[in-house]
Amino acid sequence: MSFDETSQILDVPRGGPLELARAKSSFNWKKMKLFFEDLDLINYKNQIWDTLRKDADFIRPTEEPSLMEQKKICQKRCLKIKKYNFINEDIQMERPLKRILFDEAIVLWDIDTSVKYSLHFQMFEQLLKTLGTLRHQQFVEGCEKGDIFGCFAMTEMSHGSNTKNLKTTAHYDPKTEEFVINTPSIEDCKIWVGNLGKFATHSAVYAQLYTPDNQCHGLHIFIVPVRDPYTMALKPGVICGEMGPKAGLNGVDNGFATFNQVRIPRENLLNKTGDVTPDGVYVSPIKDAKKRFGISLGALSNGRVGLTYYAHSVQGMALTIALRYAAARKQFGEPETPILEYQSHEYRLMPLLAIRYTWHAFSMSFFDNLSEFLIGLFTGDKSDRQAELGREIHAISCVSKPASSWNTQRVIQECREACGGHGYLKASRLGDLRNSNDPLLTFEGDNNVLIQQTRQLAETPLKTVEFLRNFDQKLQVKFKSNSKEDLLNQKSLMEMFDWLICYMVKISHDKLQNNLKKGQDLFTARNENQVFYSKSLALIFMERQLIERFIEKINQNKDESLGKVLNRILYLAGLYLLDNHVGLFYQGGFYSTEKPVFLIRECILELCRELRDDAMGLVDAMAPPDFVLNSVLGESNGE
């Protein structure tokens, strides 16, 4: 890394209440920033932010606008961002990571706008491109020209998580070569659809496809015009409106819709995986139903990988706010001490910061996997590696999205509390962050339902996951560190995670077999294996991922000046996560005396203290500029 590169990163303000805390840093924060994102990426985000900053449409209102006004502002911003053409296929091809950094740039600025934008430009348009064919090019062009504004209508009033049972129908009528979209009863109306409340002209509707012989061919996606793009009048047979005020995200117009025998041309079916001939015969280019399913899995992973990244970046803002406040705020002691220097405050925040760093490395590396997979899709790669990658991304995203969004929700709450009364000011932004992150726990797969999908791990213990080789041997290992030195190294950490996973796999597997032996069917046996087993296993699996990928990342570091602090982050994050599983370590015999707990906790507290001196450097390396952060508490000058 050359001196030139750091010099191209803007300084933080000199002076002010954070000066003292910054002076303690053991490393150059600009080098740390460059270790995670190169200059090309940093500049890319900064250019986006600079553009928004200079645009009057992006000025933050001084008073909270009415709900209606919020939706209008959000819509306007969304279209404006599209016009700026910050991201397009060329940019994405050249540097896939820019797709997600673009999302991050917008999310940090304004979460509502980002959600609205991705519903139209990423979900709707993406569906047209991936599941549509040439004949849908007209819709893509409509999106690009701004004649079409889309939304994605899956959820129904009676069926949310259980998408298989959606009731909306699409009957094919060969006489007119049309599909007839219909909502059987009021309980089957589409709900929650983002953009549908007010602005959408077209909706991608999930419906059960019926051929004239009255056979059902399962869920397919139909492009249904819902409003006239010029007058915004509803199309005949379509009734839709607003869901009403929400706990947050009120810039997005979530809506409901019923379809009363709405006719659309046969060509509006997205037909990549299945089609109906003009005379009404169902045909599919992909014979293998499993493979068809695989393709749509891929499309869904896309969103979850994005949300994983999205949540971790919101988390970074909350920690920036709370840590800068903690370094500047003094209370008690003589002379008065910054609250960050109290053991309990340190322990509340420093491990969360360390873990945020592991999420950062993970989210980028995971997005790299996704990009590789998508390029494979695009180039028609049919290799085993491609298929494996698809399944792996699916499995990991089913736990990374829940884990990332849950973790972020907890971190925001802790940061709010860590700022005392000031954290409760709207102007701290912490309340808004909490309210806006909250729906992530539910949409694109409810967290608690999604996480059940990773149960495969427990059911085929020895095949799925590489590190489960030498299963029995790994289970034999016992805690044997006698000192800090024994404990604080990559091998010890990974040994502990491996043992933990093997033990969890073992007891989950035993439990499931037991359930089956008791005569339970598989559906019940799996359900009764959720609590204490599958769910915990999935979350521990995720924690191991975080640590494993962070190790991969820091092993690439060549800069000695960063080595120490990167190791401390690793050790603190790793031990803190492991320390949540003390019970399991004893239960399975990995610990057998009081000592491991005392030793590990001593190390945790020591690492908190050591890392505290680097807290401001670590924050500066991850914080967006003040005008993006937009919090009266977290400003870079500490005031």
Nearer to ligand FAD, 258 or 481 (CB): 258
Nearer to ligand FAD, 524 or 561 (CB): 524
Q: Rounded to 5 degrees, what angle do the CA atoms 208, 209, 215 make?
A: 105
* Residue 130 among known ligand-binding residues: no
* Residue 155 among known ligand-binding residues: yes
Contact range with its own copies by CB under 8 A, out of 101-109, 130-138, 326-334, 456-464: 326-334
Least gap, CB of 512 to ligand FAD (angstroms): 16
Nearer to ligand FAD, 256 or 367 (CB): 256
> Measured between alpha carbons, how far is 414 from 579 in angstroms, rounded to an integer?
19
Q: Is 156 a catalytic residue?
A: no
Contact range with its own copies by CB under 8 A, out of 50-58, 258-266, 361-369, 427-435: 427-435
Least gap, CB of 396 to ligand FAD (angstroms): 20
Binds 88: which of ligand FAD, its own copies, none (CB < 5-8 Å by kind): none
> Measured between alpha carbons, how far is 434 from 431 in angstroms, rounded to an integer?
5
Per CB under 8 A, contacts with its own copies among 248-277 are 248
Q: Virtual CA dihedral for 450, 454, 456, 462, nearest 10 degrees? A: 180
Nearer to ligand FAD, 98 or 304 (CB): 304
Binds 64: which of ligand FAD, its own copies, none (CB < 5-8 Å by kind): its own copies
Binds 154: which of ligand FAD, its own copies, none (CB < 5-8 Å by kind): ligand FAD
Q: How would you label 506-539 residue by residue, b for 16+ Cβ within 10 Å and e otherwise?
A: bbbbebbeebeeeebeeeebbeebbeebbbbbbb
Q: Parallel, antiparallel, or unpaired: how do β-strands 275-276 and 282-283 relate? A: antiparallel
Q: How many residues bind its own copies (CB under 8 A)?
A: 71
Nearer to ligand FAD, 154 or 496 (CB): 154
> Measured between alpha carbons, how far is 345 from 365 in angstroms, rounded to an integer?
31
Per CB under 8 A, contacts with its own copies among 581-610 are 582-583, 586-588, 591, 594, 597, 601, 605
Binds 247: which of ligand FAD, its own copies, none (CB < 5-8 Å by kind): its own copies
Residue number closest to ligand FAD, CB atom: 160
Cα–chain-centroid distance for residue 413? 18
Binds 430: which of its own copies, ligand FAD, none (CB < 5-8 Å by kind): its own copies
Binder of its own copies out of 80, 135, 330, 391 (CB under 8 A): 330
What's the chain's length in residues? 639
> Which residues are CB-contacts of 635 (< 8 A; sequence separation ≥ 6)?
324, 626, 629
Least gap, CB of 386 to its own copies (angstroms): 31
Nearer to ligand FAD, 158 or 490 (CB): 158
Contact by Cβ (8 Å): 182, 259: yes
DSSP per-residue codes, 48-88: HHHHHHT-GGGPPPSSPPPHHHHHHHHHHHHHHHHHHT---
Q: Catalytic pick from 37, 156, 178, 444?
A: 444
Binding residues for ligand FAD, rule: CB under 6 A, are: 119, 152-155, 160-161, 192-194, 249, 254, 329, 331-332, 339, 342, 344-345, 417-418, 420-422, 424, 439, 442-443, 446, 448-449
Least gap, CB of 438 to its own copies (angstroms): 7
Residue labelled with tokens 């427990």: 458
> Measured between alpha carbons, how far is 21 from 25 in angstroms, rounded to an integer?
8
Pull the structure tokens for residue 596: 């491991």
224 SS3 class: strand
> Measured between alpha carbons, how far is 522 from 536 in angstroms, rounded to an integer?
20
Q: Parallel, antiparallel, or unpaired: how do β-strands 178-182 and 262-265 relate? A: antiparallel
Residues noted as catalytic: 444
